[in-house]
Amino acid sequence: MVSGGLPIDIQIIGKEGEPEKWVKGRDMPSNKPCALCRCGQSKDKPFCDGTHAKVGFDGTETASGEPFDKQAQVMNGPTLRLKDAPALCSAARFCHRGGGTWELTHHSDDPKVRELAIEEACNCPSGRLVEYDKRTGKVIEKEFEQSISLIEDPQNKVSGPIWLKGGVTVESSDGSTYEVRNRVTLCRCGGSSKNKPFCDGTHIDVGFYDGDESLR
C-alpha cells in the first residue's frame, strides 16, 4: 500500500555493458493512495489486482530488521570509507565499472578514481553501498525527494524491484517500521527473495517481466 501522494515513475538501467546511468522512463498516475503488486502476477502491473490471494503468494518477511550499520562491513581507503551490506544487493550492477567500487575505494587518493567510487555507490538503488568522507565522517549521498521508482533492466530483459527514495517509511505487516533510509529496494517479482520485503536480485533468476515497453 502506498500513501502520501508519492510520485511514481519508471527508472531504466542504462547502457550496454556495465551500467553507467539511470534513464528516466514514464511517470505513473499516483495522486491517490494505491497498491503496488508484489506477487508478480497482477494483470494490471505495476498495480495490485488481488491476484496474490488467488495464487497463494507467500510474502512472509525474512529480512533481519537490523539497521544498516549493523549489517554492513566497513572498508577503508585513503579518502573514503565504504560500508557494504551484501544482504541488501538488488543486482543493479552499477558497482562493476573500473574494477568495482571496492577497488576504487582502495585507490580513492586519486581524485578521478574517488569520483567514480562515489558515483557507483550513489547509483546503487538498494543502499547496499554507502560511501563516507574519511576526513569528515560525513555520508556522501544523492539528495532524493520522497518518491517511488519501478526499475527496468533491459540488459537482462527483466523488470526489477520497487525503488524507494528520499527516506520513505516501510511499515511491516506487524505494524513495526524498518529503518528509514535514503534508498531501499522492495521485491515485486513474486520470487523467493531471501530478504523479503527487500529485493535480493531474484527477479533476474526468474525472468520477471511486468510488461513495460522499455524491455521490448
In this prediction, what percent of the chain has a pLDDT beyond 90?
A: 93
Q: Residue 22: what pLDDT?
A: 97
Considering only CA atoms, which of 91, 96, 90, 88 is closest in space to residue 64?
Answer: 88
Please give the distance of CA 96 from its chain centroid, rounded to a whole number.
Answer: 16
Q: Residue 15: what pLDDT?
A: 77
Please give the distance of CA 73 from its chain centroid, rounded to a whole number.
Answer: 18
Answer whether residue 125 shows pLDDT above 80.
yes
CB neighbourhood size of 167 (10 A):
13
CB 80 within 8 A of CB 118: yes
Q: If 0-12 CB within 10 Å is exposed, 13-18 middle and 19+ buried, where does residue 145 land? A: exposed
Q: Residue 162: what pLDDT?
A: 98
Mean pLDDT of the residues in the chain: 96
Range from 10-24, 65-79, 87-101 carrying the lowest mean pLDDT: 10-24
Q: Residue 18: what pLDDT?
A: 83
Q: What is the arithmetic mean of pLDDT over 58-74?
A: 96
Q: Residue 166: what pLDDT?
A: 98
pLDDT band at 29 (very low <50, low <70, confident <90, very high): confident
Distance, CA of 154 to CA of 140 (rounded, Å): 28
Distance, CA of 88 to CA of 163 (rounded, Å): 12
Q: Work out the widest C-alpha separation in the chain, in whole angstroms.
A: 56
Q: What is the arithmetic mean of pLDDT over 29-58?
A: 93
Q: Residue 32: what pLDDT?
A: 83
For the chain, where are the E strands, in sequence order? 8-14, 21-28, 73-76, 80-84, 129-133, 139-140, 147-153, 158-165, 183-186
Q: What is the arithmetic mean of pLDDT over 148-167?
A: 97
Q: What is the arithmetic mean of pLDDT over 170-195?
A: 96
Looking at per-residue pLDDT, the higher value among 214 and 81 belongs to 81
Q: Are strands 129-133 and 80-84 parallel, antiparallel or unpaired?
A: antiparallel
Q: Are strands 183-186 and 158-165 parallel, antiparallel or unpaired?
A: antiparallel
Considering only CA atoms, which of 59, 88, 57, 70 is closest in space to residue 196?
Answer: 59
Answer whether residue 199 shows pLDDT above 80.
yes
Q: Residue 116: what pLDDT?
A: 98
Considering only CA atoms, which of 63, 67, 117, 50 is closest in space to residue 90?
Answer: 63
Q: Residue 216: what pLDDT?
A: 80
B/e letters for 169-198, b = 16+ CB within 10 Å, e = fewer, are ebeeeeeeebeebbbbbbbbbbbebebbbb
